[in-house]
Chain A
Amino acid sequence: DVKVTQSSRYLVKRTGEKVFLECVQDMDHENMFWYRQDPGLGLRLIYFSYDVKMKEKGDIPEGYSVSREKKERFSLILESASTNQTSMYLCASSFSGQGLNQPQHFGDGTRLSIL
């Protein structure tokens, strides 16, 4: 089975801190994604990557950056955390295969609180 591991289940940080959320997948997937999940809003795509050192903005990239130095690892960075970034963050990966139409496999999420 595909395993997508997010480094922390719960994280508490302070306003203005630089925050790193790490995600690792073990199935050699080309594509990796970061979402945030908020009640009533579903999942919103922050950034995705379809190859090492490649990144694409999703719907809500403001206040975030990403890093993909190795194929298995995709990091989400909050440059200067703010309270409106308190949320559940979900990482996902997928096999490229015939394009990006492969299902995504998700980690268990990181619940981030910014105080």
Chain B
Amino acid sequence: AQSVTQPDIHITVSEGASLELRCNYSYGATPYLFWYVQSPGQGLQLLLKYFSGDTLVQGIKGFEAEFKRSQSSFNLRKPSVHWSDAAEYFCAVLPGSTGNQFYFGTGTSLTVIP
């Protein structure tokens, strides 16, 4: 079955430490890939997207993500986490050839320790 997997439900990091949030998908063709962030009580905000080309994409707030076709992954990274990064992060996939709806992972909740 087609799916988007975020294997880490919750991650805790210290402020200033590096961060990697994992996302795997199981669609046949190369899909369109997105990362969103949701602060408490808010809607989702787009961090970055990948459609084609360079597999390392830069986003807002210092985030980047790398598409690895061989691993069907699109992991989100940040070199140095800030306390304001504490939020829920969602990976989303739009299947390329049959894409008429988005599929979201179940989210990863990030806690940042001062």
Q: Which of A37-45, A64-72, A78-86 contacts B (4 or more CB under 8 A)?
A: A37-45
On chain B, the number of residues with a Cβ less than 8 Å from chain A's Cβ atoms is: 24
Is A32 positioned at the interface, with any CB of B under 8 Å from its CB?
A: no
User: Is B44 a contact partner of A106 (Cβ separation < 8 A)?
Assistant: yes
User: Is A90 a contact partner of B44 (Cβ separation < 8 A)?
Assistant: yes
Nearest CB of chain A from residue B25's CB, rounded to whole Å: 13
User: Is B99 a contact partner of A101 (Cβ separation < 8 A)?
Assistant: yes
0/1 string, A48-80, CB within 8 A of B gives 1: 101000001010000000000000000000000
Docked complex Cα distance between A90 and B42 (Å): 10
User: Is A4 a contact partner of B102 (Cβ separation < 8 A)?
Assistant: no
Q: Select one of A33, A40, A58, A103 contacting B34, CB under 8 A.
A: A103
Q: Name which residue of chain B comes closest to A38, CB basis.
A: B106
- Which residues of A sit under 8 angstroms from B51, Cβ to Cβ? 101
Task: Please list the residues of chain B having a beta carbon within 8 angstroms of any beta carbon in chain A.
Answer: 9, 32, 34, 36, 41-46, 49, 51, 90, 92, 94, 96, 99-102, 104-107
Return 22 A-B CB contacts under 8 Å, by A number. A33-B101, A35-B104, A40-B106, A41-B106, A42-B90, A42-B104, A42-B105, A42-B106, A42-B107, A45-B102, A50-B100, A56-B101, A90-B44, A92-B44, A99-B99, A101-B99, A103-B34, A104-B92, A104-B102, A106-B36, A108-B42, A109-B43
